[in-house]
Amino acid sequence: MKTIVVGYGAMGKIISSELKDDLFLNVALECENKNFDNVKEKADVIIDFSNPANLDMIIDYVKKTKTPVVFATTGYTDSELEKINELSKVAPVLRSANFSLGVIVLNRLVKEVTPLLEGYDIEIIEAHHNKKVDSPSGTAKMLLKSAMDSTGYEAKMGRNGYSPRRKNEIGVSAIRGGTIVGKHDVMYCGNDEVITLSHEAFSKKIFATGAIKAARWLVDKKPGFYDMEDVLFGENK
Catalytic residue among 13, 128, 184, 199: 128
CB-CB contact of 37 with 62 (8 Å) = no
Is 128 annotated in the active site?
yes
CB-CB contact of 35 with 57 (8 Å) = yes
3-state secondary structure of 24: strand
Catalytic residue among 83, 132, 141, 156: 132
CB-CB contact of 99 with 232 (8 Å) = no
Is 199 annotated in the active site?
no
3-state secondary structure of 40: coil
3-state secondary structure of 51: coil
Residue 28: closest CA among 40, 41, 16, 43? 16
Residue 75: closest CA among 59, 53, 56? 53
CB-CB contact of 206 with 102 (8 Å) = yes
3-state secondary structure of 177: coil
State the catalytic residues: 128, 132
